[in-house]
């Protein structure tokens, strides 16, 4: 989705994420590093943003910071899709 700091076309990135969500896609975003655009990450994910926008301090801590959060989202999604 994005490179260093953010995407090259923030409006188009958010528009495509909106279309994906509208089509039923659950959008999760993981941002790493100090220079990422948190506003952009928060505006592409599905609701609730607090669960679907995941941030890591750096690429070296990405696995530690994000893996449990991603696992929880996936497991909860699988649980609710069976109900």
Letter string b/e over residues 44-70, b meaning 16 or more CB atoms within 10 A of that residue's CB: bbbeeeeebbbbbeeeeebeebbeebe
Residues 47-77 have pLDDT tens digits of 989 888 988 888 888 888 777 787 777 777 6
Instruction: Give the domain ranges of the chain.
Output: 10-82
| pTM of the model as a whole | 0.72
Side-chain half-sphere exposure of 39, counting CA atoms within 13 A: 5
**Which H or E element spans position 55?**
strand 53-56
pLDDT of residue 73: 77
């Amino acid at each position: 989705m994005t490179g260093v700091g953010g995407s090259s076309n923030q409006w188009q990135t958010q528009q495509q994420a909106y279309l994906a969500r509208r089509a039923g896609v659950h959008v999760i975003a993981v941002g790493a590093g100090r220079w990422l655009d948190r506003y952009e990450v928060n505006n592409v994910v599905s609701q609730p943003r607090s669960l679907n926008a995941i941030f890591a301090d750096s690429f070296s801590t990405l696995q530690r910071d994000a893996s449990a959060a991603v696992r929880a989202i996936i497991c909860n999604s699988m649980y609710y899709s069976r109900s």
